[in-house]
Structure 1
Amino acid sequence: MNGVLHFTNARLVDLERQALGAPTSVSVRDGRIVGTGVAPAPGSEVIDLGGLTLMPGFIDCHFHVVAWSLDLWANAIAPDSLAALRAAQVMSGLLAAGFTTVRDLGGADLGLVRGVEDGLIEGPDLVICGKGLSMTGGHTDLRLRTDIRPDALGWRLGNMGVLVDGVDEVRRACRKMIKEGARFIKVMANGGVSSPNDPIDGLQYSDDEIRAMVEEAANFNTYVSAHVYSDASIRRCVRLGVKSLEHCNLIEPETAAMAAEAGCIAVPTLAAYDGLKLEGAQLGFGVAEQAKIDVVRDGGRNSLQVMRAAGLPMAFGTDLLGQLRKYGGLEFELLAQVLTPAEILGGMWSAGAKLCRMEGEIGTMATGARANLVAFDVDPFADIAALGRPEQHLRLVVKDGAIKHDRRGE
């Protein structure tokens, strides 16, 4: 139990008014919010925030905590114990930056989830998919064209995806991962940037294979998330019943409208491409991979306008691997080139909670919600990009009613 906290002089965000409210109080008991603007309960620890902005904890809906390095092969061959220790350090950094919930899109397992739940790791709650599903030659097939060795790395902790071909094996892999704690299924349905053999416009998996994934997920009352860039790949996934659309850099208006009508959520990840553009070559990306970076980076900003016009909800995601994690805060700045602060934060909290299947639990400060909170010394409606500079502006991180980082005196 985490006791009783009473925060005073807190300014809360009002997304409808797109402004901060007047200073008020927020009471927390046993890890839950019990009310705002109320008197402190007897025995409360009173914490005067002095006018800081108090918000729900951040949600990153596209991350890979096992991607210690941009060298994906090195990640995959690392001993599982080392991969777990590295992931724990990555998770600690995420919590320190204000992310109290992270949806992992390939790699993390139930052990890392339990590590947080059991108090062994100071990190965000993880919502996992197990491994991303990739066909032979697909987005997580890291073998060179001349490498004919069978896939032997798929289920290692440091690897983000497993190679699975055919409807029967797809079903088996989905069932295995859900049995082992996956909260949703991830499919590589399109070519990718960080893989050597698949063009960015290539479709991956057959319709029947993706239908099998969607059916298996639905049988467990969950959904499929798809790695997609091209308009054709997005349209096909929407038609086949996929609900979470990752990246979406090359989406067109008609497809965006289809996705919105189907109840899909998009997760743009713009910072990943800016980071790769800045440092990809120095970090070992080849000519082919760098050319693909330019294609998706140039389309990313336009995709925000297309999806906003279609009314397609957008969650917040960064997808930054290895050495590029330092660019995570850039996502706020890039989104703000098109979206308003209210749209960015509303998408993070509302669409993010829905993708994590934790609506009413996270992304809100309603009575009864989990007390996952962050306090900043800036007004996000005046400077949303400042939220991406936590080392300068983040003053308090609270997870489940426990103070994890307190930098108010710094």
Structure 2
Amino acid sequence: MTQTLIVKNARLLDPLLPELQDRHDLLIEGNLIREVSDKPLAVRDAQVIDAGGRTVMPGLIDLHVHVVATELNLTRLASMPQVLVTLRSLPILRGMLRRGFTTVRDAGGASFAFKQAVESGLAQGPRLFVSGRALSQTGGHGDGRGRSDYILPDNLCPNCARVGSLARVADGVEAVRKAAREELQMGADQIKIMASGGVASPTDPVDALGYSEDEIRAIVAEAAARNTYVLAHAYTPAAIARAVRLGVRTIEHGNLVDAQTAALMAKCDAYAVPTLVTYDALANEGASLGLPPDSVAKVAGVRGAGLRSLELFKAAGVKMGFGTDLLGESHRLQSDEFRLRAQVLSPAEVIASATVIGAEVLGMEGKLGRLVPGALADLLLVDGDPLRSVDCLLGQGERIPLVMKGGVVEFSAL
């Protein structure tokens, strides 16, 4: 029998409106919102949740997480026992949901099995959109092998995939085409590529370019053939511009973008997914938590440019999704991304990045990001007004007394 719920006496946050709407009721049947009304609703035998004048808002969307990144040293993570990595990821998933993130896009590492575990109720966590393993060239951001006088195979067991591996190495047009097809066959919702160097990888400078243009074209074509898209790790203007010209849909990080490249992104309808909080975390506690010294040294080069990139994206009209990219013990800092962005953007703009823009990126407009009839019943009750200050969304959900995902109350402190 379909469960019916009424959330009554709430102030409604619609990310498309500048202010909260006074006193609304929401009717929820099963996993969907059936009615949103500024008049009292009454349905026989419905369970009633009294919001008590609190804010009701859509569940949050984080477009860049790594749920299997249970520690900062990614090279060591890839060789950890598979069961250990899996079990250590469960509190990470639960913590995200408790902080109000009812949907996340995993940007490398989580497989379809994690999605199955959450959907079946075996694990408690957000709705997952998984990328499988990210694709990297030899010596790229996804190649965790250190320098030596010989190169070990990327995977000593070519038919195996380590749970702790966030990426896989593939070189050449035919190899990357096959790798993309394999990740899609194994259940990836979208494909992640490394289009520039990075911080957490040992042998690639941040300003290095990733795949060749022909390789990127092949990967984009394979994603399009399955009606999905490619997201690209990229920092520099050259890497970003090349990726979006070749059809990449979202640029992850993008710290070193310039005005000309931001304008190109807007022209190509590409999205940016900045991840400012991870650089704060890596700078403040990376070394103590096992981040290799070479990676610690790279952090400074991109950290300072993060806030400036928000200004450039905004000025060019680039839509920005919400992302965090945290690793290991730093996952607890997920909501600090709101605080950092609020130094440049208005609270409404920050909230939009984690709701309606996230829904656009995922192809879930009308289903996620707003509380409207026909949408999935993902909602939060919040003590405070996030459109005036994002502070009520910080921490570990202390000011979010209720989290509902798909019509199921996951957490309640009412």
TM-score between the two structures when normalised by the length of structure 2: 0.96
Which residue in the other structure is 2:103 paired with? 101
Distance, in Å, in 2 between the alignment partners of 1:84 and 1:291 is 30
Task: Select which of 351, 370, 373 maps to 1:367.
Answer: 373
1:9 matched to 2:16? The reply is no
Distance, in Å, in 2 between the alignment partners of 1:316 and 1:377 is 21
Task: Select which of 34, 38, 42 maps to 1:40.
Answer: 42
Report the more deviating stretch, 18-27 or 199-208: 18-27
Which residue in the other structure is 1:298 paired with? 304
Q: Within 5 Å, give how 1:170-181 maps onto structure 2.
A: 170-181=176-187
Which residue in the other structure is 2:54 paired with? 52
Which residue in the other structure is 2:21 paired with? 21
1:315 matched to 2:317? The reply is no
Secondary structure in 2 matching 1:394: coil
Cα distance change on mapping 1:17 and 1:367 into 2, 3 Å: closer
1:213 matched to 2:196? The reply is no
1:91 matched to 2:97? The reply is no
Cα distance change on mapping 1:13 and 1:366 into 2, 3 Å: same
For residues 51-73 of structure 1, the C-alpha deviation after alignment (integer angstroms, 9 at most, x for no partner) is 11111111010000000111212
Which residue in the other structure is 1:161 paired with? 167
Q: CA deviation at 1:9?
A: 1.0
Identity across aligned pairs (percent)?
45
Q: CA deviation at 1:79?
A: 2.5
Distance, in Å, in 2 between the alignment partners of 1:152 and 1:45 is 52
For residues 174-196 of structure 1, the C-alpha deviation after alignment (integer angstroms, 9 at most, x for no partner) is 11111111111100110000011
User: What is the identity, as a one-letter code, of the residue corresponding to 2:153?
Assistant: P
For residues 286-343 of structure 1, the C-alpha deviation after alignment (integer angstroms, 9 at most, x for no partner) is 4432232111111100000000000000000100000111211210000000111111
Q: CA deviation at 1:16?
A: 4.7
Which residue in the other structure is 1:63 paired with? 65
Distance, in Å, in 2 between the alignment partners of 1:39 and 1:375 is 18
CA contact (8 A) 1:377 1:395 kept: yes
Report the more deviating stretch, 294-303 or 283-292: 283-292
Task: Select which of 388, 393, 405 maps to 2:411.
Answer: 405
User: What is the identity, as a one-letter code, of the residue corresponding to 1:107?
Assistant: G
Q: Within 5 Å, give how 1:388-399 maps onto structure 2.
A: 388-399=394-405
User: What is the identity, as a one-letter code, of the residue corresponding to 2:111?
Assistant: D
Q: Within 5 Å, give how 1:231-380 maps onto structure 2.
A: 231-380=237-386
1:187 matched to 2:193? The reply is yes
Which residue in the other structure is 1:137 paired with? 139
Distance, in Å, in 1 between the alignment partners of 2:165 and 2:244 is 27
Q: CA deviation at 1:2?
A: 5.4
Report the more deviating stretch, 284-293 or 269-278: 284-293
User: What is the identity, as a one-letter code, of the residue corresponding to 2:117?
Assistant: G
User: What is the identity, as a one-letter code, of the residue corresponding to 1:379?
Assistant: D
1:78 matched to 2:80? The reply is yes
For residues 46-103 of structure 1, the C-alpha deviation after alignment (integer angstroms, 9 at most, x for no partner) is 1111011111111010000000111212321123222222222211111111111110
Provide the aligned length of Structure 1 versus Structure 2. Answer: 408
Secondary structure in 2 matching 1:22: strand
1:222 matched to 2:228? The reply is yes
Distance, in Å, in 2 between the alignment partners of 1:335 and 1:102 is 18
Q: CA deviation at 1:259?
A: 0.6
1:149 matched to 2:155? The reply is no
Which residue in the other structure is 1:199 paired with? 205
Q: CA deviation at 1:217?
A: 0.7
Q: CA deviation at 1:133?
A: 0.3
Report the more deviating stretch, 258-267 or 79-88: 79-88
For residues 347-400 of structure 1, the C-alpha deviation after alignment (integer angstroms, 9 at most, x for no partner) is 221221122222211111110100011111011122213212244211100111
Which residue in the other structure is 1:114 paired with? 116
Report the more deviating stretch, 103-112 or 355-364: 355-364
Question: Mind listing any 5+ residue stretches in structure 2 that lack a counterpart?
Answer: none
User: What is the identity, as a one-letter code, of the residue corresponding to 2:110?
Assistant: A
Report the more deviating stretch, 12-21 or 192-201: 12-21
User: What is the identity, as a one-letter code, of the residue corresponding to 2:62?
Assistant: D
Distance, in Å, in 2 between the alignment partners of 1:74 and 1:4 is 47
CA contact (8 A) 1:8 1:47 kept: yes
CA contact (8 A) 1:67 1:322 kept: yes
